[in-house]
Structure 1
Amino acid sequence: MTPEMLAEHVLTAAQAAFAALELDAAALPASTTVERPRQPEHGDYASTLCLQLAKKVGRNPRELAETVAAELREVDGVSAVDIAGPGFLNIRLDSGATGSIAGSVVAAGDAYGRGEAFAGQKWNLEFVSANPTGPVHIGGVRWAAVGDALGRVLDFTGADVTTEYYFNDAGTQIDHFSASLLAAAKGEPTPENGYQGEYIAEIAAEVLKKHPDALSSADPRELFRVEGIELMFADIRRSLAEFGVHFDVYFNERDLHEQGALDAALARLREQGNIYEQDGAVWLRTTDHGDDKDRVLVRSNGSWTYFAADCAYYLNKRERGFDKVVIMLGADHHGYIGRMKAMVACFGDDPAVTLEILIGQMVNLVRDGKPVKLSKRAGTIVTLEDMVDAIGVDASRYALARYSSDSTIELDLDLWARRTNDNPVYYVQYAHARLASLLRNAAELGAELTDSYDAALLSHPREGDLLKALGEFPNVVTTAAELREPHRIARYLEELAGAYHRFYDACRVLPQGDEEFTETGRARLWLVAATRVVIANGLRLLGVSAPERM
């Protein structure tokens, strides 16, 4: 019996208790959950439903709990229900009910853990969105790992997710980029505020190779701008693809300008009564919605501001039918949240519903106990390629997705490159490989999974621990989606791998020598197969491979 199945039984028991006590059924929720107690002696699962409902109907929570408990004790597979404190339900399952979790997991396979928490919702998830002025730096790499994992998790919980890369191909930084390329092509020093690094020389050389007469063209800077952006963005897309990150949409900022989207956004904001003119400029009245100051959309010289493009881009997403816009930004953008929320309100939307901005903190890399600061190629920053070269794609993705994105992290490259159990990704992947090996060995002995097994035989404490851990996976995935915290899946996988290793050390699965393959061994083989399914599913949500051999 999975936690979800038990939760349904708890709700059914509450419905029966309400009928018996003649209480208002309108107070009952559509669904409920159960949790594993921190102390095993308190039972296998606990429910606080009676505490929640008692307040609504004005009844003593212990009295309500007694009636619900009486109903629950009649459920097949429930061995005991105790009432603790003011009305907690502590529930114990018999070994057969607990052991059935393995069969449920194997039957669901790749779909185990999939949920419907966000079913029917259309989400736009924007992350990375590095300017095409240089390789993806370490901060962008973190968002690539976390954002891609979050997109997978949201999809797994029912959301219709579109991942999007906003391509900033307009503005001052692009001007500095093209000037840097032109200077490199001429063999001149990098201009003030320009970009440095080997990649600038490489791209300049590529442009000259494609256009040998580029320096004598009518507008060399424009030519280097157009060609340089194309080459740089191709490089960014290649490196992200090699990192396992692919976007559904690549959106060009320049398209907003060329398609009149900024004028359309300004007109919509004017209709909402949030535009005014002062000192020759056009302003958005964001202070009416909590911003610290009003924002300029059109400067006195007639040029658009960056914020005007932000307004147009948000409106564009909403007009494409997205219910929620999620944007991942670096730590230096924290002050950006207020103006964006205010802008959404100016459009007439509820910023608490349609916009979410996630802020990611810095990543510091360490090797040999010393900070890693410079890139071989970019010169001034550490890039995606630098990290992958140091520890590989799987370790990079897992390491960056393993921590809460709102915390600064320090990654020891020496640790993450090791093939030892103190390397978290190796520890989890090795557990999967060990499981796959055990299943192969079983097949060679003719001890394969059959159509059924005796779930009651999975009664060893280590088997129970592993089964309960497997049952928690759907809840972990849902929580990770609801809190936008894919790192919860990584930490869960490490705990699950630990539970499996303890089970394996205590419970022999395959026969030795001339021993017969027992029914207990067969039941344990189902547990092994179920654990392999869950580790593979969890790693897939993080975009990390689940190797069959290591």
Structure 2
Amino acid sequence: MNPADLSASLLAAVSTVLERRGATQSVTLGDVVLERPRNRDHGDWASNIAMKLAKPLGTNPRELATEIAEALSAVDGVSKVDVAGPGFINITLDAAAAGALAKTIVEAGASYGEGDLYAGVPINLEFVSANPTGPIHIGGVRWAAVGDSLARIFQSQGGVVTREYYFNDHGAQIDRFARSLVAAFHGEPAPEDGYAGQYILDITARIINDYPGDLTKLPADELQEVFRSVGVELMFGDIKASLHNFGVDFDVYFHENEVHESGAVDRAVARLRELGHIFEEDGATWLRTTTFGDDRDRVVIKSDGEGAYISGDLAYYLNKRERGFERNFIMLGADHHGYLKRLMAMTEAFGDKPYYNLEILIGQMVNLLRDGEPLRMSKRAGTVVSLEDLVEAVGVDAGRYALVRSSIDSTIDIDLDLWSRKTSDNPVFYVQYGHARTHQVARNAAASGVTRDVFDASLLTHETESILLGILAEFPRIVRQAAELREPHRVARYVEEVAGAYHRWYDNCRVTPLGEEPVGDVHRTRLWLNDATGQVLRNGLGLLGVSAPERM
């Protein structure tokens, strides 16, 4: 019996009890939450549904739990139902019902773990969006790993996801980048407010090599424009290539210039004016964001006619909504926390719902450590540690896994010595080795004549089998929870738990016969469990964008 079937049976039992009591309380499948008890002696599953319903029904939760337990006990596959504490319902399945999950997983294949939380919902997920003025620094790399994993998780829940990169090709930073390239062209040091590093020299050399004419004969303003336009194009090409090699690609590259040159800002201001939230003061155009909880109103168009920073945000958000995106997520670094109030106020000013139509995810810093000391400099970038530095040190799989394994709310230290090891204390190696081991077991089984032509779930009775099956059953809930809470790290921690339970099962239960022992149904059935574990590890790693090798 899989968790979905058990939830349906529990809902039916609850409905029976409520009907018997003459209650008008409405209960849906979403109200029926099953969890794995920490103490396995308490059964396979637990539910607090009686405690949730008792107060609105005006009844004792333990009495209600006892009635529900009695109704649930009659369900096929349920071995025992106990009531504990103030009204927890602890459910134990019989071996056959619990073991049936192994076959279910194998038959579901890559779809095991998928759900319908965001079925058909158009989702725009904007992440990384690093300025094209240098290689992606390690903070942006964290967003690449987390953002791509979150996109995969949303898609597994039915979301129609567009990965979007906001390409900042407008403003003072681009001008400083161009001046840095011009300085390198003249053999001069970078401007005080400019950019330095080997990549500046490399891009300058590429522009010189590719330019069809004599750059030395261009007037200063034309020279600046050549290095600005060509330099940005080359730098952004390098960024795209780095991300692609890291397993991250985008569906849309949205140019900031577009919102300023297409009249999008004027349209956004006009819309907000119609809604009554725009006013004029001191020659400037303002958005009254204090109406919606901001600490002060915001200038949209300055008195000199130039758009303030928020003008681009207004136009870009409206553009996303006009493109049909119901849910919009933007991932920002810790230094952007001050933007949250104004962006939520902007959302509400447009008549939308903050934290639904727009949600901001704030991530903390990343430190790379070697020999216990933080890395401060990059050979290529000059001033920051970059994506290339991480990949060169530990590889793509370990880099992605290390970045997505912790909550984005926490600063993380990545020990490059640990993550480059091929040992079980390296978490990604531990999980990938577990997956490779399932394939090795399957190869050995085939060589010994063990096939999946028989499945008898009642034979999966060893304690390690019960534990492993219970953990495998959790996968759909874990993925849904990761989507709901925007926390891909839950999937990473989960596959580590799966790998640990599998390794312990491997040490205790054989799939291939020992010595002259004949092949039996228990071996054939255990092969299903072995392959089910491999499928769950593969599905979980896939959600993280990490490979699942068959040999190691």
Same-fold status (TM-score > 0.5)? yes
For 1:101 and 1:28, the matched residues in 2 are separated by 24
One-letter code aligned to 2:217: S
TM-score (norm 2): 0.98
Out of 455, 464, 472, the residue aligned to residue 474 of structure 2 is 472
1:379 to 379, 382, 390: 382
Q: Report whether the alignment pairs 1:291 with 2:279.
A: no
Counterpart of 1:525 in structure 2 is: 527
Shift of 1:115: 0.5
- What secondary structure does 1:357 align onto? strand
Q: Residue 358 of structure 2 corresponds to which residue in structure 1? A: 355
Aligned length: 549
- Cα offsets for 1:196-230 (capped at 9, x unmatched): 01111111111111114234235111111110111
What are the superposed Cα offsets for residues 74-99 of structure 1, whole Å, 9 maximum, x if unpaired? 11110111111222111111100110
Correspondence for 2:507 among 505, 508, 511: 505
Say whether 1:164 aligns with 2:169.
no
In structure 1, what is the Cα distance between the partners aligned to 2:182 and 2:28?
A: 69
Q: CA–CA distance in 2 between the matches of 1:538 and 1:215?
A: 56
My pick for the range that moved more, 14-23 or 266-275, is 14-23
Contact 2:8 2:29 (8 Å CA) reproduced: no
> Given that residues 27 and 56 in structure 1 are in contact (C-alpha distance below 8 angstroms), is that contact kept between their aligned partners in structure 2?
no
List aligned pairs for 1:134-213, cutoff 5 A. Answer: 134-211=134-211, 212-213=213-214
Is 1:258 the counterpart of 2:238 in the alignment? Answer: no
The aligned counterpart of 2:435 is 432
Identity of counterpart residues, as a percentage? 58
Q: 1:28 & 1:106 partners in 2: Cα distance?
A: 29
Q: Secondary structure at the match of 2:119?
A: coil
SS at match of 1:365: strand
What TM-score results when the alignment is normalised by the length of structure 1?
Answer: 0.98
1:57: how far off?
A: 2.1
SS of 2:356's partner is helix
Distance (whole Å) between structure 2 residues aligned to residue 26 and residue 511 of structure 1 = 53
Q: Pairwise mapping of residues 51-200 of structure 1 onto structure 2 (< 5 A)? A: 51-200=51-200
Shift of 1:116: 0.6
- The match for 1:268 is 271
Alignment-derived partner of residue 217 in structure 1: 218
AA at the equivalent of 2:447:
E
Equivalent pair of 1:15/1:25 in contact (CA under 8 Å): no
Q: Is 2:31–2:49's contact at 8 Å kept on the other side of the alignment?
A: no
Structure 1 segment 13-52 matched on structure 2, within 5 A: 13-27=13-27, 31-52=31-52
Equivalent position amino acid for 1:465 in 2: I
Asked whether the 8 Å contact 1:510–1:517 carries over to 2, the reply is yes
Q: Which runs of 5 or more structure 2 residues have no equivalent in the other structure?
A: none
**1:397 paired to 2:400:** yes
Aligned partner of 2:282 among 279, 303, 307: 279
Confirm or deny that 1:420 pairs with 2:423: yes
Taking the aligned partners of 1:78 and 1:8, their CA distance within structure 2 comes to 13
- Kindly indicate whether residue 356 of structure 2 is the aligned counterpart of residue 342 of structure 1: no
Per-residue displacement from partner, 1:16-43 (whole Å, max 9, x unpaired)?
A: 1122222215355655221111111211
The amino acid that maps onto 1:515 is E
Q: Which residue of 1 aligns with 2:242?
A: 239
Match of 1:367 among 367, 370, 375: 370
Distance in 2, matches of 1:294 and 1:65, equals 53
Compute the displacement of 1:345 (Å): 1.4
Look up the equivalent residue of 1:405 and give its one-letter code.
I
Deviation sequence 1:401-454 (CA, Å, 0-9, x none) = 00001100011000000000000000000000011111011112221212x411
CA RMSD after TM alignment: 1.2
Q: Hey, which bits of structure 1, 4+ residues long, moved more than 4 A?
A: 27-31
Contact 2:7 2:29 in 1 (8 A): no
> Structure 1 residues 334 and 435 mapped into 2: Cα distance closer, same or farther (>3 Å)?
same
Moved more, 218-227 or 453-462: 218-227
| 3-state DSSP of counterpart to 2:355 | helix
1:12 corresponds in structure 2 to 12
**Residue 240 of structure 1: how far off its partner (Å):** 0.2
> Partners in 1 of 2:460 and 2:550 — Cα distance?
25
AA partner of residue 504 (structure 2): R
Contact 2:482–2:490 under 8 Å retained in 1: yes
Which of 466, 488, 494 matches 2:496?
A: 494
What are the Cα deviations for residues 290-328 of structure 1, in whole angstroms up to 9, with x where unaligned? 112211111111111221001100010011111111000
Mapped partners of 1:53, 1:448: distance in 2: 48
Tell me by how many angstroms 1:106 deviates: 0.5
Among residues 291, 300, 305, which one is paired with 1:302 in the alignment?
305
